[in-house]
């Protein structure tokens, strides 16, 4: 499993998460199973772990343990499956957001600009829309909005123009290497950073990542018992900002909800301070460098 994905902030995340060894826990992003394996080691024979993953390849990593139940689905359907399973309120929920090392290193998936591959980027390979579909069908305005909002691209308008012009002139843009040539002509600032931000924007749009995150945050409060923990590890500012706002206000949009009498309705509170990997972990796993972990508790 370590070859699939090295779990980030492994011990610190599980220590914050597991407060009842007989409890019910959820790993929203099973992946290589690194975090799940550690949770199972903490749980007693009475404990239960429900794991979610929409990537079919993750099924190969399923841990053979009677306490584990796999749900092959996007974690945005947490509440639907929790209700269907008929289990009680859960004690803790963990999410290690973003793309796994395995997905980045699987050249054929098209997540990385470093490999020649079709522009795919689907985490769920049964989904219909790919990155190529977006580049070939989105309007100039939609492309500009996407790159600006999800990639924080400073010259999003110029990039959108180059893509639309390439479509009209029939310039090949079906593979990452072909798309990279277009990016080089529009690159603004550091090349590696620029390419990474563009690919991030496309990946977020393909997988509807931020909408899924907002939905599951709200659903966490529906399935957690009072005192239950939620641990979210994010890798870019867009995700972390949403989690931070949610823990502060109880709303993914950062808006305080009040009743008819003006009293604040808040079901979650932040526990401790922002947690980031230390230099030792970053040295062992460079991809941990951008990780930020926040812990919340249902009131």
Res 160 pLDDT > 60: yes
Q: What is the mean pLDDT of the chain?
A: 94
- Tokens 């796993």 correspond to 285
Strand, helix or coil for residue 281: helix
Mean pLDDT of 248-272: 92
pLDDT computed for residue 2 by the predictor: 45
Beta strands in the chain, from DSSP E residues, in sequence order: 24-27, 48-52, 68-71, 90-96, 224-234, 257-258, 264-265, 268-275, 292-298
pLDDT computed for residue 4 by the predictor: 57
Tokens describing residue 190: 């550091």
Short-list 3, 2, 39, 1, CA closest to 22: 39
CB 201 within 8 A of CB 135: no
pTM reported for the whole predicted model? 0.92
Q: Given its phi and psi angles, is residue 68 left (phi above 0), alpha (psi -120 to 50 degrees) or beta?
A: beta
Rg (CA), the chain: 20
Distance CA 60, CA 217 (A): 27
Distance CA 95, CA 27 (A): 6
Distance CA 155, CA 147 (A): 9
Mean pLDDT of 67-86: 96
pLDDT computed for residue 282 by the predictor: 95
CB 213 within 8 A of CB 207: no
Q: How much of the chain exceeds pLDDT 90, in percent? A: 84
Tokens describing residue 277: 């990997």
Distance CA 267, CA 241 (A): 19
Short-list 234, 223, 218, CA closest to 266: 218
Res 176 pLDDT > 70: yes
Res 81 pLDDT > 90: yes
pLDDT digits (tens, 9 = 90+) for 228-240: 999 999 999 999 9
CA distances from 65 to 40, 47, 199, 227 (A): 9, 11, 37, 27
Tokens describing residue 75: 């974690």
Q: How much of the chain exceeds pLDDT 70, in percent? A: 97
For each of the domains in the chain, give its residue range(s) and CATH number, in order of start: 10-102+211-298 (3.40.50.150), 107-207 (1.10.150.170)
- Torsion angle of C-alpha atoms 42, 47, 52, 56, degrees rounded to 10: 80
CA distances from 4 to 68, 76, 218 (A): 19, 23, 30
pLDDT computed for residue 5 by the predictor: 64
DSSP code of residue 175 = B
pLDDT digits (tens, 9 = 90+) for 14-56: 999 999 999 999 999 998 899 999 999 999 999 999 999 988 7
Mean pLDDT of 73-88: 96
pLDDT computed for residue 40 by the predictor: 98
pLDDT digits (tens, 9 = 90+) for 102-148: 777 677 889 999 999 999 999 988 899 999 999 999 999 999 999 99
Distance CA 36, CA 61 (A): 11
CB 185 within 8 A of CB 162: yes
Res 3 pLDDT > 60: no
pLDDT tier at 1, thresholds 50, 70, 90: very low
CB 157 within 8 A of CB 144: yes
Tokens describing residue 19: 């407060």
Higher per-residue confidence, 57 vs 240: 240
């Amino acid at each position: 499993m370590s070859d699939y994905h090295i779990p980030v902030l492994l011990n610190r995340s599980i220590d914050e998460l597991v407060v009842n060894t007989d409890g019910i826990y959820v790993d929203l992003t099973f992946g290589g199973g690194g975090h799940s394996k550690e949770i199972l080691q903490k749980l007693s024979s009475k404990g239960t772990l429900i794991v979610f993953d929409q990537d079919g390849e993750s099924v190969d990593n399923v841990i053979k343990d009677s306490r584990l139940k796999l749900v092959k689905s996007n974690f945005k359907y947490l509440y639907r499956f929790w209700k269907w399973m008929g289990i009680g309120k859960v004690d803790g929920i963990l999410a290690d957001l973003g793309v796994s090392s395995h997905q980045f290193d699987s050249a054929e998936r098209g997540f990385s600009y470093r490999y020649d591959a079709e522009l795919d980027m689907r985490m769920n390979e049964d989904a219909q829309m790919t990155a190529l579909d977006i580049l070939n069908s989105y309007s100039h305005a939609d492309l500009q909005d996407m790159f600006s909002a999800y990639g924080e691209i400073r010259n999003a308008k110029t990039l959108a123009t180059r893509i639309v012009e390439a479509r009209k002139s029939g310039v090949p843009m079906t593979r990452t290497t072909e798309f990279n040539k277009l990016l080089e002509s529009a690159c603004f600032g550091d090349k590696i950073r620029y390419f990474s931000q563009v690919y991030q924007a496309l990946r977020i749009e393909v997988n509807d990542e931020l909408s899924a995150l907002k939905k599951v945050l709200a659903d966490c409060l529906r399935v957690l018992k009072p005192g239950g923990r939620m641990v979210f590890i994010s890798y870019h500012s867009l995700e972390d900002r949403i989690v931070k706002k949610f823990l502060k206000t109880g709303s993914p949009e950062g808006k305080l909800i009040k009743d008819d009498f003006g009293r604040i309705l808040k079901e979650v509170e932040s526990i401790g301070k922002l947690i980031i990997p230390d230099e030792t972990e970053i040295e062992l796993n460079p991809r941990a460098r951008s990780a930020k972990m926040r812990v919340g508790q249902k009131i």
